[in-house]
A and B are shown apart, each in its own frame.
Chain A
Amino acid sequence: MLKAGIFFILVLLALFQINVLPLNLAFVFIAAFFLLSKRDFSFWWVLIAAVLVGLFANLNIGLVVLSFTATLMLTDILSRLFPDNRLIKGSLLLATLFLSEYILISLGRFL
C-alpha cells in the first residue's frame, strides 16, 4: 500500500514536471522508483505510468510504453549486475535521463 502510494506520488510529480522540464525527467522519477524499490514492480504499474506520461505529453502512447520499457530494462539489467553499488545505481538514474530521450527519439524515427 505504501509502495503504491509512493509510486502514484512519483507519477503525479512526473506529470506535473512535464510542464516545466523535459519529458525524460518523468522517466527518471518513475525509473528511480522501480530501481530503488527492489525491482518487484507490476506489469500494470509500468503500463499505467507510461500511458499517463504519453497522454500528458501528447505522444503516441505505444511509443512511450516501448521507450519506457526499453529504458527500464537496460537500467534494470545493469543494476542487477552491480546490485550493491550505490554509486553505480545513482549513475544509472542519471543515465536514464539521456537513455530515455535517445530511445524515444530513435524509436519515433524508426517506427
Chain B
Amino acid sequence: MKSKKLSLREFRYYPLLFFVGLVLFFTVSFGWLSPVLSFAQNLTLPLQIGFYRVTKVVSNVGATTLEIGGLRSKNAQISLENSLLKAENAKLKKLEEENISLREQLNTPRKDIKIKLAASVIGNGGFGTKKVLLIDKGSNDGVKNKELVVVKDVLIGQVINVTPKISSVQLLSDPDTSIPVVTETGAEGILEGKFGAEINLTNVLQSEELKEKEMVFTSGKNDFPAGLVVGEIGKVNKVDKEFFQKAAVTQILEPEKLILVYLIED
C-alpha cells in the first residue's frame, strides 16, 4: 500500500478552523452573537420552512403510495374507532359535568393549562440518538429553556435549546427524557426515552397492575404539571424476579407529523 509523507502546509486551515470554532462556540454560548444569529435566522427560516414542507409532501406521497392497498381495511378500522370514541366522548362529557360540580363543591380552583404561544414546526434537528423537533419561535418571542410543548392536553416535549428565532424541543422519545408519570389506575413510574422512537414506562412496582391501552399522564412531580397525556401503554414486561416492571408506551400523536405546537406557561 502506498503512503505519502504528510506535509504540515497541507493542513494549514485546520488550526485556523479550530480557533474560529472555539471563538464562535464561546461567543454563541455567552449570547454575544444573538443579534447576528437573529439576522441569519431571519434569512434561513423561510428556506428551512420550505425544506420541511417539501419533506412532508414527499414523505406523504410516498407513504400514501405504499399504503394504498391497506387503505380500505384501515378506513373500516378508523370508522369503528370513531364510533367507539364518540361513545367514550359522551361518557367523558358526563364525567366532566360531575367533575365541575365536585370542584365547585370542594372549592378547588381548576388548573387549566395556559397556552403561551403557538409555534410552527420547521424541522427535525436531531443528530445521532437525539430526538429533537425545531420550532419557529425563540428567545425573541419569549421562549425559555425547559418550557413544555403540547398539542391540546398531549405532551410533545420540552424546550432544551433556545436561539433568537428557533428553539429545539426534546421529544419524549429522546434518551435523555425522564418524566414522572401515572397511569389511569394510579400506578406511578418514570417515562424514559429509548434509542430509536421507543418510549418506556419504567420503575413501576410489581404490586401495581399495568394494562395494555391504558392511558399514561404526567404525575405532577419534578416541575411537570399533572394530567398531561404522554401516551398509552403497549406491551407490558413483567418479570417476577425483578423489583420493578416496565412497559412500552405508544405516543398518541406522532411528533414528526405535527405542523403546529403550543408552548405552555410555567
Contacts and interface: CB of A to CB of B under 8 A. Distances in A.
Interface of A: 15-16, 18-20, 22-24, 39, 41-43, 46-47, 50-52, 55-63, 65-66, 68-70, 72-73, 76-77, 80-85, 101, 104-105, 111
Interface string B11-49: 101101110111111111100010001001100100110
B124 A19 contact: yes
A66 B18 contact: yes
B255 interface: no
A105 B3 CA distance: 32
B126 A22 contact: yes
Contacts of A101: 127-128
A82 B3 contact: yes
Contacts of B18: 66, 69-70
Interface stretch (B64-72, B149-157, B160-168, B220-228): B160-168
A24 B6 contact: no
Nearest to B58: A20
A92 to B, nearest CB: 14
B186 interface: no
Nearest to B132: A58
Interface of B: 1-4, 6, 10-11, 13-14, 16-18, 20-29, 33, 37, 40-41, 44, 47-48, 51-52, 54-55, 59, 123-128, 132, 134, 161, 163, 166-168
Contacts, number: 127
A91 B17 CA distance: 25
Nearest to B168: A58
A63 B27 CA distance: 11
Given A15-B51, A19-B55, A19-B124, A83 B2 contact: yes
A81 B4 contact: yes
B40 A55 contact: yes
Nearest to A24: B127
29 contacts: A23-B125, A23-B127, A43-B16, A50-B21, A52-B44, A55-B37, A55-B41, A56-B44, A56-B48, A56-B51, A56-B123, A56-B125, A58-B134, A58-B163, A59-B127, A60-B29, A61-B37, A62-B22, A62-B28, A62-B29, A63-B25, A65-B21, A66-B22, A70-B18, A73-B14, A76-B11, A82-B3, A101-B127, A111-B29
Contacts of B1: 82, 85
B11 A73 contact: yes
Contact of A66 (B2, B21, B27): B21
A83 B4 contact: yes
B161 A58 contact: yes
Closest 3 CB pairs of A and B: A62-B25, A62-B24, A23-B127
B194 to A, nearest CB: 16
Given A63-B21, A77-B6, 8 more contacts: A15-B48, A23-B128, A24-B128, A60-B29, A62-B22, A76-B11, A101-B127, A105-B128
Nearest to B14: A73
Question: Which of A47, A62, A80, A82 lies at the interface centre, i.e. has the most chain B CB atoms within 10 A of its CB?
Answer: A62
A48 to B, nearest CB: 12
